[in-house]
Structures are given as structure tokens and as C-alpha cells.
């Protein structure tokens, strides 16, 4: 049974800097240490974008060094806080697709995993590029990868492809939801969609397909749904996702690793 660990919204900064007083390096380091200790048997650790805060070279180099300490192998795609060219320059072991997008297909015995590049850039014009996009070439790649397999498919992407109920974040979700779901529903083999971007734990289904969105290892989205500002953050414990394939389907767990305890007692 395939086992996947999922991190999203890292967002690494240069040494000596913080986000709302939090050190992204230290928070992610604790998460990686936790994975190495308890999930070293994972088949992949998947990172679904917003790898850095400002897409600067120093942050990418700092992140690359930290990810080198992972015991399980990693698979990476990018989000709206990333720069595609700079990422590929630093993470030179990552091979983009034929059109230069940070997308890949990974086959396991019981499923196919597809990582999608939803970065709406270049041009890197903010705030417009904070929203997500799967252009015609990326959608064609998705359709081809879905058509060529008989396995159930799990999609991993940064931007949720539909509304999540958070007013501010929904303004910068994937902008071409209808086109995305037309491709997905036409093939009928996508079993689950995984995303980040919102910095909350959210689960449900949309157009008949289950989805899961995970929290960040660093900072989280405030819970009020009607907050119009998508850049507000709160200091809540970091988390990552755990996805386990079963003969009957799959299970999705969230590990709040900063507050997780294993010294349990019988109640």
C-alpha cells in the first residue's frame, strides 16, 4: 500500500528572517525530523508549492539543504509564491515537463500520482499571479497522463480548483475551474485531489470528487470565513498530511506534529 506524506506552504525565508515572528526553517525542520522518525517508510514526501516566501535564491538554497535531510524521497511542485525559473535553477535535479512546467507523473503499484504546476506566471505581476492557472498546455499534459493509465489517479496541486468558503482565498483560487474539471471528469479515473494555498485543514467533495487541503508547517489562515484579506496569518501548530492507499480506497490523515504526543495513557 502506497504511503505519501504531504507538505504545503512552507514558505522559506533567508537566514535570520521570520514571518509573523516565526522561523519557517525551524518549523519545517521539526516536521522533517518527525517524518524521518515516524514515517521513514513513506514512498514519497510531496511538496505542493509556496516553497519560499519571496522566491529569492537564498531561500531556495536554504530549503534545498533542509530537504536533503529527508529520509524518504521527495517530489516537488510550485505555487504562487514561487518563481519557476529560479526554482528549476536551484533544484536542478527536478525535471520539468516538455513545456517547462514543474509537473510530473509518478507510478506506484496501486495508483498514479500527478503533480500539477498551477503558478499563474510569468509575468510575475502581483496580486494577479497569486491566483492559479492551468493553461491549455498544462491541461493537455494532464489529459494525456490521465488517458494513458488504468490506475486510480491522485492529483496534487497548489491552488484549490474550487471555492473553499474563505472569502479572501477564494479570490485567488484556480481561475479556470470549469476547464480543469472538464478534463478530470472526462477521464473518470481521478480518485482524490490534494491542494494547499489556504493554510487550513479542509476536506469534502466537489463535482463528485473527494478533495483534501492541508495546513502549513509554519502559519495558518484565520478561521473566520468572511475575511477579505488573503494575507492574514495566525500562529497555530504546524502540520503535514498522511495519505495511505488501501485495497478499498485511501485514507487521509493530518499530523499536527508540533503538538502531537505518543506518551499516551489508558483513560
The residue among 201, 101, 199, 107 whose CA lies nearest residue 154 is 107
Alpha-carbon torsion angle 60, 259, 198, 241, nearest 10: 80
Tens digits of residue pLDDT in 210-260: 999 999 999 999 888 888 888 888 999 999 999 999 999 999 999 999 999
Residue spans of the domains in the chain: they are 3-255
Q: What is the pTM of this model?
A: 0.97
Q: Dig out the grid coordinates for 221 from the structure.
A: 489562515
Q: Give pLDDT, residue 223.
A: 87
In the chain, which residues have pLDDT < 50? none
CA-nearest of 213, 115, 191, 121 to 157 is: 115
Question: What is the spatial distance between Cα 6 and Cα 243, in angstroms, rounded to a whole number?
Answer: 8
Task: Let me know: does 211 contact 231? Beta carbons within 8 Å.
Answer: no
Q: Which residues pair with 254 in a beta bridge?
A: 241
> Which pairing describes strands 209-213 and 202-206: parallel, antiparallel, or unpaired?
antiparallel
**Residue 209: strand pairing partners:** 206
CA angle, 78 then 63 then 107, to 5°: 50
Length of the chain: 267
The CATH H-level (homologous superfamily) assignment of domain 3-255 is: Metallo-dependent phosphatases (3.60.21.10)
Closest CA to 248 of 110, 51, 62: 110
Owner of C-alpha cell 491566483: 131
Instruction: Count other C-beta atoms under 10 Å from residue 30's C-beta.
Output: 14
Are 144 and 112 contacting, i.e. CB atoms less than 8 angstroms apart? Answer: no
- Position 99 scores a pLDDT of 98
Tens digits of per-residue pLDDT, 128-156?
889 999 999 999 999 999 999 999 999 99
Place of cell 502559519: 219
- Residue in the block written with cell 508547517: 217
Q: What is the distance between the alpha carbons of residues 168 and 3, in angstroms, rounded to a whole number?
A: 33
Amino acid at each position: 500500500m502506497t504511503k505519501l506524506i504531504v507538505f504545503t506552504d512552507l514558505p522559506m525565508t533567508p537566514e535570520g528572517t521570520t514571518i509573523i515572528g516565526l522561523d519557517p526553517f525551524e518549523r519545517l525542520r521539526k516536521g522533517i525530523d518527525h517524518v524521518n522518525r515516524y514515517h521513514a517508510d513513506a514512498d514519497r514526501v510531496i511538496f505542493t508549492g509556496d516553497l519560499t516566501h519571496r522566491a529569492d535564491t537564498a531561500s531556495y538554497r536554504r530549503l534545498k539543504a533542509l530537504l536533503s535531510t529527508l529520509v524518504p524521497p521527495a517530489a516537488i511542485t510550485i505555487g504562487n509564491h514561487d518563481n519557476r525559473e529560479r526554482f528549476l535553477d536551484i533544484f536542478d535535479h527536478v525535471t520539468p515537463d516538455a513545456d517547462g512546467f514543474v509537473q510530473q507523473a509518478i507510478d506506484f503499484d496501486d495508483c498514479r500520482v500527478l503533480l500539477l504546476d498551477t503558478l499563474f506566471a510569468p509575468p510575475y505581476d502581483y496580486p494577479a499571479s497569486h491566483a492559479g492557472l492551468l493553461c491549455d498546455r498544462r491541461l493537455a499534459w494532464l489529459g494525456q497522463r490521465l488517458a494513458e493509465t488504468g490506475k486510480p489517479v491522485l492529483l496534487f496541486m497548489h491552488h484549490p480548483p474550487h471555492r473553499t468558503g474563505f472569502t479572501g482565498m477564494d479570490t485567488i483560487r484556480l481561475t479556470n475551474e470549469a476547464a480543469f474539471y472538464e478534463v478530470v471528469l472526462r477521464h473518470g479515473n481521478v480518485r482524490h485531489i490534494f491542494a494547499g494555498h489556504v493554510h487550513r485543514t479542509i476536506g469534502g467533495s466537489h463535482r463528485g470528487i473527494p478533495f483534501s487541503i492541508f495546513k502549513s508547517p509554519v502559519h495558518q489562515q484565520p478561521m473566520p470565513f468572511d475575511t477579505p484579506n488573503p494575507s492574514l496569518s495566525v500562529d497555530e501548530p504546524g502540520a503535514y498530511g498522511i495519505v495511505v492507499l488501501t485495497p478499498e480506497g485511501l485514507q487521509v490523515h493530518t499530523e499536527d506534529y508540533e503538538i502531537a504526543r505518543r506518551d499516551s495513557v489508558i483513560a
